[in-house]
Structure formats: C-alpha cells, structure tokens
C-alpha cells in the first residue's frame, strides 16, 4: 500500500500488478510492464511504490536483483530497468523502502547490510552495522534522515540517512530476530515483528538519538 495513495495496492508473482482503487467492486488489477520472472522458479519477492510518485516502483526478483520503473502509469507498457544484482548467490535482498518525498532515494535490506541509492539505483552505497543480517528498513516520513533497520540482532536506527547507526532494541529480548518494521506516521509508533515471539511497539514521539553500538 502506498501511504500517499492508500487505494493503491501492489501484488506480485512473476509480474508486478497494481490496482489504483482497492475499494472498487470488483477490484481492477493492471499489469506493470513485462514480467520480470521469465523462468520456472523465478518470482518477485518484494515491490514498493514510491510515496507521492506512483509512476515509480521498485521490485526485487529472486532475492538478488532490483528493478525500477519510472513510468508505471503506462501499465503493461511500462519499462523495467535492472539496477542491482548481487554477485554472491548466497546474498539475499530482503526488502526495499523508498524515501517519502524523493523517489530517487531508496534503501534495501540485505544479508550483508543496508544499501542506499540517491539516483534511482544507478549507484548504491553499503551502510549499516557490519556482520548483521537485515530484514527490513523503515523511514520516518516526518524526517526521512531517520532510518530504522530490522536485523537478526534487534532494531538499529540512524539519524543521518544511514551514515551512522545505534541500537534501539531496549525492551526486546537480546538476540531476537526482527523480521519486519512498520512506522505509523500519525501515532509516531514503530512496530517490530519478531520470528515467533510476537510484535513489539515503540512510541517514538520526538525521536531521540539511539545508543551508539560499541
């Protein structure tokens, strides 16, 4: 769901498909561009529409390649461009998150760290605390320099767009694997789901600098 256009929903398998009115009856789905997964066993593992820019969609194929389109409004005439491919077959791209006001900026969570692009995928910079596996990245829409990352060692946060990181796992049992994050811009709550141990909620209010990792 696009937070700026909440009637927009994406779904994916071999194709990325979208409805721009999820409240319609029946719901009408449109295929976005050609299918990205061409062979048996290939599939789209994540897809995100840029908030405020519905023509821009990022998609992850087979956990190891990122594609982007900037003309999703053309439906099946849209064009996908591959902008990332992991050379290591064991490397997994687990999520993609897009800046709330700038579709050129996006983050992916991977086995080896978080990666950031500021030019719609032309270049990527590796970020994050080393030696962690990252499952998800959330961005504070009120201050997009505030980034939150779900990892196999808890929740980490950055106040400078991913340059430096601190631990925000107080209240979560040590070593808990965080599988996904959800940021509620209205209530200022960050929800962190875990692997088999429920969901933890943090009331952020005014964001405070997280404790630096030693």
Read off the pLDDT of residues 88-106 as tens digits, 9 standing for 90 and up: 878 899 999 999 999 999 9
Q: Residue written as tokens 């808990």?
A: 176
- Residue 210's pLDDT is 58
Which tokens go with 153?
A: 């060692």
Q: What separation, in Å, do the N-terminal and C-terminal C-alpha atoms of the chain show?
A: 37
The reported pLDDT for the residue numbered 55 is: 97
8 Å CB contact between 204 and 184 = no
pLDDT at 40: 73
Neighbours of 130 (CB within 10 A): 8
By the 8 A CB rule, do 130 and 113 touch?
Answer: yes
pLDDT value at position 211?
Answer: 54
pLDDT at 65 over 90: yes
CB 98 within 8 A of CB 55: no
Q: Can you say whether the dihedral through the CA atoms of 10, 104, 137, 201 is positive or negative? A: negative
Give the DSSP letter of residue 109: E
pLDDT at res. 212: 47
* Phi, psi of 74, deg, nearest 5: -85, 5
Residue 112 has pLDDT above 90, yes or no: no
Residue 75's SS3 state is helix
Amino acid 42: pLDDT: 84
Q: What is the pTM of this model?
A: 0.90
**Would you place residue 214 in the very low, low, confident or very high pLDDT band (cuts 50, 70, 90)?**
very low
- Work out the number of other CB atoms within 10 angstroms of the CB of residue 68: 26
Task: Please state, as a whole number, how many other Cβ atoms lie within 10 Å of the Cβ of residue 27.
Answer: 12
What's residue 158's pLDDT?
96
């Amino acid at each position: 769901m696009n937070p700026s256009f909440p009637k927009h929903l994406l779904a994916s398998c071999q194709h990325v498909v979208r409805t721009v009115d999820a409240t319609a009856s029946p719901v009408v789905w449109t295929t976005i561009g050609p299918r990205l997964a061409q062979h048996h066993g290939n599939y789209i593992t994540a897809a995100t529409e840029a908030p405020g820019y519905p023509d821009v969609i990022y998609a992850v194929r087979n956990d190891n390649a990122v594609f982007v389109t900037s003309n999703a409004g053309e439906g099946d005439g849209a064009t996908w461009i591959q902008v990332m491919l992991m050379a290591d077959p064991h490397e997994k791209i687990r999520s993609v998150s897009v800046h709330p006001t700038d579709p050129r900026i996006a983050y992916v969570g991977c086995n080896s760290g978080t990666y950031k692009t500021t030019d719609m995928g032309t270049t990527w910079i590796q970020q994050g605390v080393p030696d962690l596996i990252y499952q998800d990245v959330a961005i504070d829409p009120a201050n997009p320099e505030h980034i939150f990352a779900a990892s196999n060692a808890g929740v980490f946060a950055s106040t400078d767009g991913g340059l430096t990181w601190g631990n925000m796992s107080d209240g979560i049992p040590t070593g808990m694997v965080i599988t996904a994050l959800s940021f509620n811009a209205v209530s200022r709550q960050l929800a962190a789901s875990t692997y088999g141990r429920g969901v933890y909620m943090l009331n952020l209010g005014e964001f405070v600098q997280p404790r630096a990792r030693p």
